[in-house]
Amino acid sequence: METMDKKGYTPLEIVDKREWREDFFSLFFHSPLLTSSLRSGHFLMVRDPDAPPLLSRPFSMGRLFHDEGVFELFFQVVGKGTESMARKRVGDTLSVLGPLGNPFPLEKPGRVLLIAGGRGISPFLSALPVLAESKRDYSLLYGAKTARTLLFRPFLADFPVSYRTDDGSFGQRGLVVDGLSREVDLVFACGPEKMLERVALFYKDLPTEVYLSLEERMGCGTGICYGCARKVRTDRGVEMVRVCEEGPVFEASRVVWDE
């Protein structure tokens, strides 16, 4: 039985590990409860006792293996916290809180385009099997700087994917936003801030519904610290809202971009 501490964190054992390249890793955890609850766009707060300071960090989950009750955390090494996680071994334990946030509304009807830039592929690794099972018209547009940073290609081979790389080393040459289509009803996007802004601008005057997964620094993941607040349009005008509670998925029309 999975037990939680007073703050809702569950200690979970790492059951597998994958090094994609020197700075991209996947850790796999066995938790039937979490695996059955997670949806594309949710995030998890992870606490590593070996990473000072003892702060939790937000992570998007990757693939979900429902038959085994296993979920994947995919991350890039960008600082001391993720460096510590990259050193973890099978059998080590991390404390996890989640699922948190609002996921992508995959249940909405219509033709779907998923747009992933770089490590923004993470939430769509769980969305693709859901869309495939629904027998809907869907596709993924996935871009990265080089072929070496287009990860998960063996897994993605079972789905309709168009690739773009900045240097043309795999797929079409160019930015992922160069491949945007008007012939869709729904767009779900995750990636760098500038990419998301370009996506929002492209569909601004079209009837397409666009949802963006925003990435902000988070200290708690539960709305207490206000460390992830950003400007968003609400019924009351432009306000600062907490991405961890209101998001991380927002309708593109609500997001206010910096000048």
Domain ranges of the chain: 10-100, 112-254
Identify which of 239, 207, 254, 206 has the alpha carbon closest to the alpha carbon of residue 102: 254
Identify which of 153, 251, 247 has the alpha carbon closest to the alpha carbon of residue 199: 251
10-100: which CATH topology?
Elongation Factor Tu (Ef-tu); domain 3 (2.40.30)
* Average pLDDT of the chain, as a whole number: 90
What percent of the chain is modeled with pLDDT above 90?
Answer: 72
217 token code pair: 């620094």
Q: Does position 223 have pLDDT exceeding 60, yes or no?
A: no
Domains 10-100 and 112-254 share a fold: no
Residue 84 to residue 51: CA distance in whole angstroms: 6
6 against 64, higher pLDDT: 64
112-254: which CATH topology?
Rossmann fold (3.40.50)
pTM of the entire predicted model: 0.93
The dihedral formed by the CA atoms of 168, 169, 172 and 175, expressed in degrees to the nearest 10: -60
- Write down the pLDDT at residue 22: 73
